[in-house]
């Protein structure tokens, strides 16, 4: 029997965030987020239009049509960011994210960084970079630890 390497905890939750990102309805970026505390998943989120509304898969990307660069003019987008949806899902189910670690496939925009600070998360882990680095100073001031990890392998290994 071949022994497979067991992923460390950060790799494990980053892989889960990558699977969550597959649900995205954004034509530019597929982003997934997983909020975790004590190795327990508290909530997940992916980027896309508000529940029940038409999304970019159906209507096309308004930002592309208007030639708006990534990382700017967030108010033009139909989508809600993955981190925002993770926070919303937690609140809908009465779950506090205080002290949680949030695993996301991209670094946050400044708007998400502010929301994460207000949700009192303690750590943010990612492997991907977004076009906006303004979150770094905010995280430092808010005491949120930021960890950039290598991208986890996309294959899932299991024994038969």
Catalytic residues: 83
Nearest C-alpha neighbor of 101 from the set 149, 63, 64: 149
Kindly give the pairing relationship between strand 101-104 and strand 123-126: parallel
Beta strand residue intervals within 85-160, DSSP E = 101-104, 123-126, 145-148
Q: How far apart are CA 96 and CA 1, in angstroms?
A: 42
| Nearest residue to 31 (alpha-carbon basis) of 96, 84, 89, 91 | 84
Looking from the CA of 3 toward its CB, the CA atoms found within 13 Å total 2
């Amino acid at each position: 029997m071949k022994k497979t390497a067991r992923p460390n905890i950060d790799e494990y939750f980053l892989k889960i965030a990558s699977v969550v990102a597959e649900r995205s309805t954004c034509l530019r970026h597929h982003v997934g987020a997983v909020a975790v505390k004590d190795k327990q998943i508290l909530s997940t989120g992916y980027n896309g239009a508000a529940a029940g509304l038409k999304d970019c898969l159906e209507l096309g990307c308004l930002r592309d049509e208007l030639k708006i660069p990534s990382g700017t003019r967030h108010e033009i987008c139909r989508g809600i960011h993955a981190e925002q949806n993770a926070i919303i899902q937690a609140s809908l189910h009465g779950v506090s994210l205080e002290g949680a670690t949030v695993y996301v496939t991209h670094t946050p925009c400044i708007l998400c960084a502010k929301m994460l600070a207000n949700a009192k998360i303690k750590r943010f882990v990612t492997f991907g970079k977004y076009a906006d680095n303004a979150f770094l100073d905010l995280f430092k001031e808010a005491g949120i630890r930021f960890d950039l990890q290598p991208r986890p392998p996309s294959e899932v290994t299991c024994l038969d």
